Chain A
C-alpha cells in the first residue's frame, strides 16, 4: 500500500493510533519491579491489584452528580455539603475513601473553577478518572493566569463583572463545583436533575446542561 495520508485513517474514519514501541521509562520499570516484588513477597496479589484498578475504573461523575442534584433540592443538605463535603458524601452512602473534599458553590455572583498546577490532583473517588486535558500542561498553567480565556475555549463566556474564583488544588484537599441549577427545572425529579450535571460542570469548565423541553 502506498504510504499516503489515507493510511492514517481506519475504515471507520478514526485515525490509527501509533504502536507503543518506545522502551520503558525508568519509572515504568520501577513500577513493574516494585509490583512484582510485592506479589512475590505475598504482600499483595495480582487479583487484589486488578480489583483495585476495576474499582477505580468503575467510579464515574454520576456520584458527584447525585450529590449536586440533592444539594439543589435539599437546602439543608447543601449547607452540610458546603460545611464538610467528605462527611456529607459519606452520609449519602458514597465510599470516597480517605479523601478530604471541599464543595464550591457557583452563584449568580461567583464562578468557581478547579485546577492543580503542581500535578493533576482530582477528586477521583467522586468523579472517576480525570479527563486528559485536566492533566495537560496547558490547562494547568493557563487556568490560574487566564481563566476567562480558558473558559471561553470550553464555550463558557462570563461577563467581566462576574468574579471568578480559581482553586489551585495544591495539597491535601480535593475540590468539586456545585454548578448553578438551570432555569426551568423546578418540576424535575432528583434523578432527572442529576442527568443535567456534567463532569465539566463539576470541574468548573462547564455549566449544567439545560433540560430538554
Chain B
C-alpha cells in the first residue's frame, strides 16, 4: 500500500460528502442503496487497488478507501426505523464527492 493517495487525501474526518449516483455495469463495490446519498467521512483507512479493475485482471490503480457514515433517515427517508440510526460503509475515493458548503448540513 503506497502513501501517495494519502498525500492528496482531500477528505478529512467529518467532511460532508455525497456518493456519486452513477450506475455503471460490472463489479462495483459502492452499494446501489447508498449512491446519491450524503454522509460524513468516519475514517480514512488506506489506499487499496481498485476492485473494479482487479475483478477483470486489469492493472489496478490505488484509491483511498474511506468509511462513510450515513444517517438512516438520509438513506431511507420516512421508511427509516429510527432516523438517527447509522449505516457505515467502505467507499473508494473515486465514488466520493465533497458537498458544496452551501449544501452541507
Contacts and interface: CB of A to CB of B under 8 A. Distances in A.
Interface of A: 100, 117-118, 144-149, 160, 163-173
B78 to A, nearest CB: 12
B88 A146 contact: no
B45 A168 contact: no
A169 B85 CA distance: 17
A163 B86 contact: yes
Given A118-B29, A170-B91, A172-B65, A149 B81 contact: yes
Interface string B6-30: 0000000000000000000000011
Nearest to B87: A166
Residue among A145, A148, A160 having the largest count of chain B Cβ atoms under 10 Å = A145
A148 B80 CA distance: 10
B36 interface: no
Contact of B88 (A100, A118, A148, A166): A166
B81 A168 contact: no
Given A117-B31, A145-B76, A171 B51 contact: yes
A148 B86 contact: no
A169 B49 CA distance: 17
Interface residues of B, number: 26
A170 B45 CA distance: 13
Given A148-B82, A163-B84, A170-B30, 20 more contacts: A100-B46, A118-B31, A144-B33, A144-B75, A145-B79, A146-B81, A163-B82, A164-B85, A165-B87, A166-B72, A166-B85, A166-B86, A167-B88, A167-B89, A168-B87, A170-B29, A172-B45, A172-B48, A172-B90, A173-B90
A173 B65 CA distance: 10
23 contacts: A117-B31, A145-B76, A145-B79, A148-B81, A160-B82, A163-B84, A164-B85, A164-B86, A165-B86, A166-B87, A168-B34, A168-B88, A168-B89, A169-B90, A170-B29, A170-B90, A170-B91, A171-B51, A171-B65, A172-B45, A172-B48, A173-B45, A173-B90
A160 B80 CA distance: 12
A165 B87 CA distance: 6
Contacts of B79: 145
A172 B81 CA distance: 28
